[in-house]
Amino acid sequence: MTFNIELTSAKHGERLSQKYTCDGQDYSPEIFWSDPPSSTKSYILIMDDPDAPRGTFVHWVLYNIKPDIKQLHENVSKEKVTGEGWAQGVNSFKKIGYNGPCPPRKKVHRYIFYLYAVLHEPDLEPGLTKNDLLNIINDKTVKQASIMVKYGRSYE
């Protein structure tokens, strides 16, 4: 069995519903995963847009997800620490929490959700960036899973 991440709203390579973008409600999608390594102490989720004009754009940084969790509900609150105790970091919008796809008009971008199963206890302070986390977990990642979805906008 392989460590795997899925969205309930789109399969790998499919178009993400407008509901999860700046053109809709800007909700975070429901995410679930299966078959994590047994040594996992916590999870870290990072959502990137590698097609952004000025380089990779970070849309979401979520961490301190305890190892018994296997699903994130839709519309995770945009707080430094969620009601579930998950910490959120600063995205490329300079905001806390999820901010969905918002590509330039007539462009289709890829959005990749990376889920890291790590050997780090879920006790990191909120407000970290993607780079902060990657430096902390550099040698503590057990496995990584990812899923890519697409979103594009048209002229209105």
pLDDT in tens, 84-101: 999 999 999 999 999 999
Nearest to 40 by CA among 15, 10, 70: 70
Helices vs strands, H then E, count in the chain? 1, 8
- Whose tokens are 């390594």? That residue is 37
For the beta carbon of residue 6, count every other beta carbon within 10 angstroms.
17
pLDDT of 156: 45
Q: Which domain holds residue 34?
A: 4-152
How many CB atoms neighbour CB 7 within 10 A?
20
> By three-state DSSP, how is residue 129 classified?
coil
> Do the beta carbons of residue 56 and residue 50 sit within 8 Å?
yes
- Cα–Cα nearest to 24, from 124, 89, 114, 102: 102
Are the C-beta atoms of 63 and 45 separated by less than 8 Å?
yes
- Average pLDDT over the chain, rounded to an integer: 94
4-13, 46-55, 137-146: least confidently modelled range:
137-146
* 137: CB partners within 8 A, 6+ apart: 44, 116, 118, 120
State yes or no: pLDDT of 10 exceeds 90.
yes
Q: What is the CATH number of the domain that holds 11?
A: 3.90.280.10
pLDDT at residue 132, rounded to an integer: 95
Q: Which of 60-69, 86-95, 97-106 has the lowest mean pLDDT?
A: 97-106
Name the DSSP class of 125. Answer: P
Closest CA to 110 of 71, 66, 56: 56
Residue 153: band (very low, low, confident or very high) from pLDDT cuts 50, 70, 90: confident
Tokens 């590698």 belong to residue:
50
Report d(CA 129, CA 149) in Å as an integer: 22
Q: Please count the structural domains in the chain.
A: 1
For the segment 118-142, the average pLDDT, to the nearest whole number, is 92
